[in-house]
Amino acid sequence: MPWFRPFSAFRSLVRFSDNTAALQADPVRNAQILARIPAGRWGKPEDLAGALIFLSSSASNYVNGTILTVDGGWRGR
């Protein structure tokens, strides 16, 4: 039976967040941030789809105690 763990956590740099609106509106700061993201762009809501499908499937049944980072490579640089 597939499990869904509501305590799974995500880190992301997703464009739809109001938290990033000021950064994106500032041309200098936006360029600095985009230069540090290996994917070269802000995340989109659909970028989370694969992670959500994985976590809601039986393929993730043995995944515990970790944070799945969906950030275009920001933290891995």
Residues 12-62: tens digit of each pLDDT:
555 556 778 888 899 999 999 999 999 999 888 888 889 889 988 899 888
pTM of the model: 0.67
Both tokens of residue 36? 């540090």
Q: How far apart are CA 28 and CA 4, in angstroms?
A: 41
Joined tokens for residue 68: 């799945």
Domain boundaries, the chain: 9-70
Find tokens 């994106």 and name the residue.
24
CA dihedral (42, 45, 77, 19) positive or negative = positive
